Amino acid sequence: MYIIGMNSSEIRKKFLQFFAKNGHTIVPSSSLIPDDPSVLLTTAGVQQFKPYYTGEANPMTAIHPNFGKPFGSKNVVSVQKCFRTSDIDEVGDDTHLTFFEMLGNFSFGGYFKEEAIRLAYEFITKEMNLKISYVTIFEGLDSIGVPEDKESQEIWKKLDPSIKIRKEEIEDVFWGPTGNSGPCGPTTEIYCTNANGQDVEIWNLVFNEFFFPGSREELLSGTSGKRLEKLKTPGVDTGAGLERLVMIAHNKKNIFETDLFAPLMHALPTLHGGWSARIASDHARGIVFLIGDGVMPSNKNHGYIVRRLIRRVIPHLKLQSLAIIQEGFAPPGHSTIKDLVEKVIEYYGRLDMYPYLLDKKQEIVRVIGEEQERFFNVYNKGNNILTKLINEAKDNQTFLIAGIDIFRLVTTYGFALEWIKDKAKLTGVDLDLSGFEREFKKHQEISRAGQEKKFGGHGLLLDTGELKAADEEELKIVTRLHTATHLLQAALRKVLGPEVTQEGSDITAERTRFDFTFSRKLTPEEIRKVEDFVNEAIRRDLRVEFQEMPYEEAIRTDALYFFKEKYPARVKVYSVRDPKTGEVFSREFCGGPHVTHTAEIGRFHITKEESSSAGVRRIRGKIV
């Protein structure tokens, strides 16, 4: 029995109820794929609330896309699905995960430090009956003009005169901004001790006092020339990892011993001290939730993350079955990737929060099965090569695998870099990862030069690879279709969701062809809505304009761009804007050419919608 007699579901509920009782509106989790195109994934609960801190959205009147109505309160609470690729190399230790659930309360001008700290203190010590080991506060930093957070220190002391307080630096206790700009501020963190005697951060309370018009890297570098601005209304953003909180509440040694992981860990042998099982369990959850939010395995963006997770789990499971067969390893269980993901779906799908997982069960299992098939086509060959490389590295006493060999395993055999790292660790060899990076860059440059050569000799007036026109007449039509294609992408994201990303496009004088990630056929109703959105933008005769700027700056404009594409140092960002209201319909990295006013396009019509490859749809459209 648990010390506090609450399982993880009850803890989730208790958190929501406690804050609801204290004047917070319960808001459901947003998708793992954020609306903000400058960030790839949702890594914190605060992301869906970003506009409320800057005053861009009013919690009393703005209709929140995920909630369907205004919050009707300046205070909200959520349990947010999060995914952090930044922690992927740590997975397998006692406290890190890629996918996790974040409990958080937020206030946009409703309350500030005093109330936020009091509520957190009350929840941890009274509702959960846990002991706080220590808390941290920001020690201040002159170069950004933020003093030590004495206020938080005083508040803690008033609540508990014996509480231990540690002062920490900007890297640890100053949050944000996320993406290319946003709210940010000092934090105070709560640490508790687990059954291993480790102090673990379980709750981070952020006081959003500032707005920074650049990225976190720029803020930390201090060389961007940009300054922190005071937010008109300071706000609160807190986040507590559910898995860690449950670990503390149940007095466990690590997060994998909690009831959240029990169905998975029981199905796997504890090979290599459970490390292999921990990675497989973490990734199985990540795979299910990402595919559940519409991501399909691919070589780009979110799709590439899922592909790598799947292609790391499969070899781990193979390793486990081999150990069972060869070494007579006594297994608590023995699972395939299908068994594991089904367990995740069954467990989370039966909770109140994620019933959609049960509805999507067949689809999720099918997508993973197909990806497994693709991987199996190359796996044996790749695995033989990897084994040979490891043996050679040992024979020749270098104990090092060269960058070019890693590169070939990743590109030709579709191996996940993370699995190559795991295998190296298990067999005691090193990887030349900087050599691997160099190979990667060299390859990108060669393929770009090849592209230019290929399109040089066509005898076409315009041939960018994406746009093709033989003469002036065709160039005009292609230019109109090109702007229509930008509107089409914006329309698809609007109607189908931000998981839509461009996979490719090809525009001739006859038609535009646009490929994008999406897992199913569009309904006639959706196709009509997409057409309507494009034609409405044309009818409003919006202005099309571009700005040329350094790549780094362009990333911060919220423009859509290919995550993995290599861009030159200066890029053009094209926007389609309503000159009267300033509303932006579309913004993309692009070389042009485009029309200057959308009315020049004419009328846009979708002629065909079909599958292009796994998880990728293809639309053809023309203008009349």
Query: Contact positions toward ligand SER, by CB under 6 A?
Result: 44-46, 104, 175, 204, 206, 237-239
Q: How far apart are CA 449 and CA 487, in angstroms?
A: 30
Angle between helices 361-395 and 275-292 (to 10 degrees): 140
Provide the H-helix boundaries in 103-147.
113-122
SS3 599: helix
Closest alpha carbon to 286 in 132, 456, 416, 429? 416
Let me know: does 214 contact 226? Beta carbons within 8 Å.
Answer: yes
CB-nearer residue toward ligand SER: 116 or 260 = 116
Nearer to ligand SER, 187 or 598 (CB): 187
Which amino acid, residue 590? C
DSSP result, 406-468: HHHHHHTS---HHHHHHHHHHHT-EE-HHHHHHHHHHHHHHHHHHHHHHHHTS--SEE-SSBE
State the nearest-atom distance from the C-beta of 123 to ligand SER, in Å: 14
Nearest CB to ligand SER, comparing residues 45 and 186: 45
Task: Give whichever of 209 and 371 is closer to ligand SER, judged by the CB atom.
Answer: 209
CA dist 488 to 171, 492, 500, 531, 618, Å?
41, 6, 11, 8, 12
Query: Is the CB of 235 or the CB of 315 nearer to ligand SER?
Result: 235
Helix runs in 256-300, H state only: 262-265, 275-292
Nearer to ligand SER among residue 174 and residue 354 (C-beta): 174
Closest CA to 415 of 454, 448, 389: 389
Residue 203 vs 289, nearer CB to ligand SER: 203
SS3 at position 489: helix
Nearer to ligand SER, 177 or 303 (CB): 177
Least distance in Å: CB of 294 to ligand SER?
Answer: 23
Closest CB 186 distance from ligand SER, rounded Å: 12
User: Cβ–Cβ contacts within 10 Å for residue 407, how many?
Assistant: 19
Helix (H) or strand (E) holding 586: strand 584-589
Q: How far is the CB of 100 from ligand SER (least distance, A)?
A: 10
Residue nearest to ligand SER (CB): 239
Question: Which of 184, 509 has the CB closer to ligand SER?
Answer: 184
**Residue 239 Cβ, how far from ligand SER at the closest point, in Å?**
2
Q: How far is the CB of 565 from ligand SER (least distance, A)?
A: 28
The CB-of-15 to ligand SER minimum distance in angstroms stands at 13
- Give the closest residue to 51 by CA, choosing from 41, 63, 42: 63
CB of 501 to ligand SER, least distance (A): 24
* Smallest distance from ligand SER to CB 95, Å: 14
| Comparison of 32 and 507: residue with beta carbon closer to ligand SER | 32
- Nearer to ligand SER by C-beta: 128 or 537? 128
Could you give the C-alpha distances from 106 to 52, 63, 79, 127, 246, in angstroms and in order? 10, 17, 11, 19, 21
Task: State in angstroms the smallest separation of the CB of 210 from ligand SER.
Answer: 14
User: Quick one: 45 or 286, whose CB is closer to ligand SER?
Assistant: 45
3 state SS of 202: strand
Residue (of 272, 273, 255) closest to 264 by Cα position:
255
Q: How far is the CB of 188 from ligand SER (least distance, A)?
A: 11
CB nearer to ligand SER: give 205 or 260. Answer: 205
* Least distance in angstroms from the C-beta of 540 to ligand SER: 37
- Looking at the DSSP bridge assignments, the partners of residue 199 are 193
Distances (CA, A) of 297 to 301, 310, 314, 382: 10, 9, 14, 19
Q: Extract long-range pairs of 616-619: CB within 8 Å, 24+ residues apart.
A: 616/296, 616/298, 616/503, 616/515, 616/516, 616/517, 616/518, 617/515, 617/516, 617/517, 617/518, 617/521, 617/522, 618/513, 618/514, 618/515, 619/488, 619/492, 619/513, 619/514, 619/516
The nearest distance, CB 222 to ligand SER, in angstroms, is: 22
Q: Are strands 584-589 and 604-613 parallel, antiparallel or unpaired?
A: unpaired
